[in-house]
Structure 1
Amino acid sequence: MKNDFVDLRAKAHWVWRETLAIHRRAPETRLASSLSSIDIFVALYYGGVLRFNPADPRDAGRDRCVISKGHGSICMYPILADLGYFPMEELQHVCEAGSFLGGIPDPVIPGYETVNGSLGHGLGVATGMALGLKRSGSDRSVFVVAGDGELHEGANWEAIMFASQHKLDNLHLIVDDNRISMLGYTEDIVSHGELATRLSAFGWDCMEVDGHDVLAVQAALLQQKAHAAGKPKAIIARTLKGHGVPGLENAPLSHIINPKPELIDDLLEKNR
């Protein structure tokens, strides 16, 4: 586990740049979804929240982090490389033949727990993990990072009810609430309304934070992890899809838009 003396804001900026650089080399990766979740992952992995062991990614003493929005986690590649899960040189080969770093991550990548290609299943899997850990007497926690769009899938709400029924207070849901799904704003497709209110009504302990304030995300995660409330826990992180990229940020079709290479080059030059 990295200690909490890391400058989280500087680390988030570095991950943002590295994510842009990866997409510049591998435009088949999903950029907008990965940019909205950066501060969430930086808080989890550098903020003293998760217990993990890069030397043994399946260490039984680890906390579990299920990345349900797999396509939106290309930003995890530089994080995992920086933490020592695999060499930094691998970042130069994303989506190339022979590389284990693909456009949609899967458990062949050290540090990934589950298959993430089909959205809407991560919370159910994480709920099962949390139940198993609790019944075995483990004090380890399970975190799941999901997009708000995938909460349209009914299986999530089955997991939400199940987790509350079984008082899984070792389960943490972090929603990357960028309010845009594949083909438009979620409000225009299936509105979540007040998502925190809905989850609270299902028996969850909920908080809302600015998902681009990495220190606020870290504080919320640490607060919830330290509090055994007898309830599963959720953080609604309000984010912007395509964060920091003109023409991509908060655009309704940002999920399927690729910025022009010269725009990425200009952003990388200006944000050294």
Structure 2
Amino acid sequence: MTQVFDTKNLRKTVLDMAFSGATVHIGCAFSIIEILAVLYRNHLRFPDDTPAHPNRDYLVLSKGHGVMAQYACLHEKGWLSSADIKNYFKNGTQLKGLADAHVPGVEVTSGSLGHGFSVGVGMAYGAQRRETNQMCYVIVGDGEINEGSIWEAALFASHFKLDNLIVVVDENGFQAMGSTEEVLKLGNIMEKFIAFGFESIQLDGHNESQINDAIHQLKSKKNGKPKAIIAKTVKGKGVSFMENNNIWHYTRLSSETYAAAMAELEEK
């Protein structure tokens, strides 16, 4: 089966899940769609197309509340069925509202923010010790890096020269209860990661070409430095009434807003 990871279709799958499950976190799923599409299309290696293959690359979604975006990708890979998508967040489903390692293709149970990055650093360290060529990609939210555990893990990654680690910061400018500027100012995120010993790039998190080129560039550099991509994104990207509107962190779709969002995506 050809896997194109078309971002419009991925967003439509997210809407289907959110509407069917009467659940939330649409905006924070939409902001990482292009990042995930590029990773699954061009970079993540799964020998024999097996999600648990011992030589696979790792993808850790530390901002686990954005998991509908990852589930949409796993559905395209054929690891989740259409029935799984339809039954999202319902009784008996394996697909819960936060990333869950019981789901094929999901490496870490996350959602306790800051935790996933630490686990991803440990995975990268383990691959380094085993002398494999496995990469570990970790996606964190900008609000998530308020957590001190993020910076402890960053120190560890730099100390142990984990150049098989790429962390992608989804810098959409919001967290659950407000903008990052209002809640806790982050300053220049790229400069912070550079200060912690990371080779860092800042880019447009919805420009698939930029994302792809940056990942190729960073993973080719075996220079003893962990890597960071600071991806400037729009929370709710793709649907006009959701973009930069933090109400869609916790708002559920009605029949009317579901239809309106789907109609916008169809027009693109």
Letter of the structure 2 residue corresponding to residue 122 of structure 1? G
- Deviation at residue 121 of structure 1 after TM alignment: 0.7
Counterpart of 1:225 (choices 216, 219, 222) is 219
- Deviation at residue 260 of structure 1 after TM alignment: 3.7
> 1:187: which partner in 2?
181
Instruction: Spell out structure 1 runs of 4+ moving beyond 6 A.
Output: none
> 2:14: which partner in 1?
19
TM-score for the superposition, normalised by structure 2: 0.93
Asked if 1 retains the 8 angstrom alpha-carbon contact of 2:18 and 2:253, the reply is no
> 1:234: which partner in 2?
228
Letter of the structure 1 residue corresponding to residue 180 of structure 2? T
Matched, 1:102 2:96: yes
> 1:154: which partner in 2?
148
Asked if 2 retains the 8 angstrom alpha-carbon contact of 1:54 and 1:84, the reply is no
Letter of the structure 2 residue corresponding to residue 221 of structure 1? I
- Deviation at residue 55 of structure 1 after TM alignment: 4.8
Aligned-CA RMSD value? 1.8
- Deviation at residue 270 of structure 1 after TM alignment: 4.0
- Deviation at residue 76 of structure 1 after TM alignment: 1.4
> 1:73: which partner in 2?
67
> 1:38: which partner in 2?
33
User: 1 CA distance for matches of 2:132 and 2:204?
Assistant: 31
Instruction: Provide the identity percentage.
Output: 35
* Secondary structure class of the residue paired with 1:208: strand
Letter of the structure 1 residue corresponding to residue 32 of structure 2? S
- Deviation at residue 2 of structure 1 after TM alignment: 7.3
The 5-angstrom pairing of residues 96-245 of structure 1 reads 96-245=90-239
User: 1 CA distance for matches of 2:143 and 2:265?
Assistant: 30
Asked if 2 retains the 8 angstrom alpha-carbon contact of 1:29 and 1:104, the reply is no
User: 2 CA distance for matches of 1:207 and 1:135?
Assistant: 26
* Secondary structure class of the residue paired with 2:258: helix
- Deviation at residue 27 of structure 1 after TM alignment: 2.3
Figure out how many residues of one structure are paired with residues of the other and give that number: 266
- Deviation at residue 20 of structure 1 after TM alignment: 1.4
User: 1 CA distance for matches of 2:236 and 2:264?
Assistant: 17
Letter of the structure 2 residue corresponding to residue 114 of structure 1? V
* CA distances 1:50-90 after superposition (whole Å, capped 9, x unpaired): 11257532111100111101111201112101112132332
TM-score for the superposition, normalised by structure 1: 0.92
Asked if 1 retains the 8 angstrom alpha-carbon contact of 2:239 and 2:264, the reply is no
Asked if 2 retains the 8 angstrom alpha-carbon contact of 1:2 and 1:45, the reply is no
* Secondary structure class of the residue paired with 2:43: coil
* Secondary structure class of the residue paired with 2:201: strand
- Deviation at residue 267 of structure 1 after TM alignment: 2.5
- Deviation at residue 139 of structure 1 after TM alignment: 1.0
User: 1 CA distance for matches of 2:78 and 2:9?
Assistant: 16
Distance 1:54 1:264, change over 3 A: farther
Is the deviation greater in 14-23 or in 138-147?
14-23
Structure 2: unaligned runs, 5 residues or longer: none
Distance 1:114 1:143, change over 3 A: same
Letter of the structure 2 residue corresponding to residue 21 of structure 1? D
User: 2 CA distance for matches of 1:212 and 1:270?
Assistant: 17
User: 1 CA distance for matches of 2:236 and 2:81?
Assistant: 27
* CA distances 1:122-155 after superposition (whole Å, capped 9, x unpaired): 1111111111110111111111011111100000
Letter of the structure 2 residue corresponding to residue 70 of structure 1? G
Asked if 2 retains the 8 angstrom alpha-carbon contact of 1:106 and 1:116, the reply is yes
User: 2 CA distance for matches of 1:252 and 1:80?
Assistant: 26
User: 1 CA distance for matches of 2:72 and 2:85?
Assistant: 7
User: 2 CA distance for matches of 1:200 and 1:235?
Assistant: 11
User: 2 CA distance for matches of 1:245 and 1:261?
Assistant: 15
